[in-house]
Amino acid sequence: MDDINLLEQIKLNNQKAFQEMVIKYQNLVINTCYGFLHNQNDAQDVAQEVFIEVFRSISKFRQESKLSTWLYRISVNKSINYIRDNKKNSWFQSLDLLFEKEKAVKEILPDFDTPQEILEKDEKSSSIYKAIDDLPQNQKIAFTLYKFENLSYKEISEVMNISLSSVESLIFRSKKNLQSKLLKYYKKN
Amino acid sequence: MVMDCKQIQKKLIFYIEGDLDSVESAKIISHIEVCKECEFLLSQLKSSLLFLEQEKQTETNPFFFSRVMAGLEKEPKQSFIINWLRRKQYSLQIVGYSILVFLAITAGHYLGKDKITIEMETATQENVISDNQLFAESYQFQINEEDVYIIKADEN
């Protein structure tokens, strides 16, 4: 079923159509949320809220943009709100991230990775995620959509509702800032 | 023009992302062939960006839809007012605490004002009495007690 038909069926409360939409766009939403939250469990929780929001607001969607664009917008907003609401717990979140990443790496990596290599990979992930988190909000959004979702500049401009030249500027500055922070980290360590 | 390390390091991420033209790219390649530090930084940056690529989820979670449906069934539809209150909860808390502090300061001010006034009036009365007596004694006046002007506390 194409997106237009899917939307029409979901408006009629067709659960099968809703399930089809969830399966089709699940990875898109979870990956977008993960790009901001850097934690699979949190990303899945927020992704769940995204689809609940979609189901509740389906009648309000005017179809002026693509369904995927609308999903990206809701995912970005929900993720940003989640980060803001949980800022006071960010220290505990970062501990969870460290332990969860360690556990995830141990499950996925083959046996020949030494503990030293596992530790290095954890440090690498922490350093790049921290560098991304430190970016100004619009740069972070543009960079995350560009890097995690491989969206084109045009698609990013539609999601963020800004001009193409603004997207180019945001991506350029985000790369420059990210590079600056990472090089500082590498030289220090 | 030969580029130094500082200039090269500013362009590394753009080189990795393929944003540089062939001339600039060639300069970077020839530099990192002779500079260990820049070569190291390039490899670290490449590896970090590659790490982001690998973090993407590619497998579909078969239980995700069940979670969404469970969330839909669990979450009751809340009224507009409750949703508005939830969204504004932090601002409302700040306003609430400010009002409490203001009320506490105002109450403290009014409660404290009466007590101070009574103490001041009492002190003034005592001063008047003792001043008059001292005055009389200093001039060795024969002064009758009833002539000393006393403001009685219960008289206006």
For chain B, what are the domain ranges?
Answer: 5-52, 80-147
- The answer, for B14 touching chain A at a CB cutoff of 8 Å, is yes
Q: How many CA atoms lie within 13 A of A169 on its CB side?
A: 7
B61 burial level (CB within 10 Å; 0-12, 13-18, 19+): middle
- Chain B's closest residue to A25, CA to CA, is B60
- A 10 A CB-CB count for A139 gives 21
Considering only the beta carbons, identify the residue of A19, A34, A182 that sits closest to B57: A34
Stronger pLDDT, B99 or B125, i.e. the higher one? B99
Check if the beta carbon of residue A170 is closer than 8 Å to that of residue A135. no
What is the dihedral sign for C-alpha B39, B40, B43, B48?
Answer: negative
The residue type at A102: E
Distance CA B21, CA B79 (A): 57
Residue A63 pLDDT greater than 90, yes or no = no
Lowest mean pLDDT segment, chosen from A89-103, B3-17, B29-43: A89-103
Q: Which residue has the higher pLDDT, A20 or A95?
A: A20
Tell me, yes or no, if B52 comes closer than 8 A to chain A by beta carbon. yes
More confident residue, A111 or A37: A37
Report the range of poorest mean pLDDT among A24-38, A67-81, A92-106, B74-88: A92-106
Mean pLDDT value of segment A162-170: 96
A24–chain B Cβ distance below 8 A for any pair: no
| Portion of chain A with pLDDT greater than 70, in percent | 83
The yes-or-no verdict on residue B137 having pLDDT over 50 is yes
Give the nearest partner residue to B60 out of A23, A147, A175, using CB atoms: A23
Of residues B148 and B34, more confidently modeled? B34
Would you mind telling me the total number of residues written for chain A in this entry?
189
What structural domains and CATH numbers belong to chain A?
1-85 (1.10.1740.10)
Does the interface predicted TM-score (ipTM) exceed 0.90?
Answer: no
What band does B86 get if pLDDT is binned at 50, 70 and 90? low
What type of residue is A184?
A: K
Measured at the CA of A181, the angle between CA A180 and CA A186, to 5 degrees, comes to: 100
The reply to whether residue B64 touches residue A47, judged by beta carbons under 8 angstroms, is: yes
Asked if the model's pLDDT at residue A168 lies above 50, the reply is yes
Averaged pLDDT score across all residues of chain B: 77
The pLDDT of residue B142 is: 57
pLDDT at position B143 is: 55
Share of chain B above pLDDT 90, in %: 32
Minimum-distance CB partner of B71 among A48, A125, A178? A48
**Measured at the alpha carbon of residue B106, what is the angle toward residues B105 and B107, in degrees to the nearest 5?**
95
Average pLDDT over residues A114-136: 81
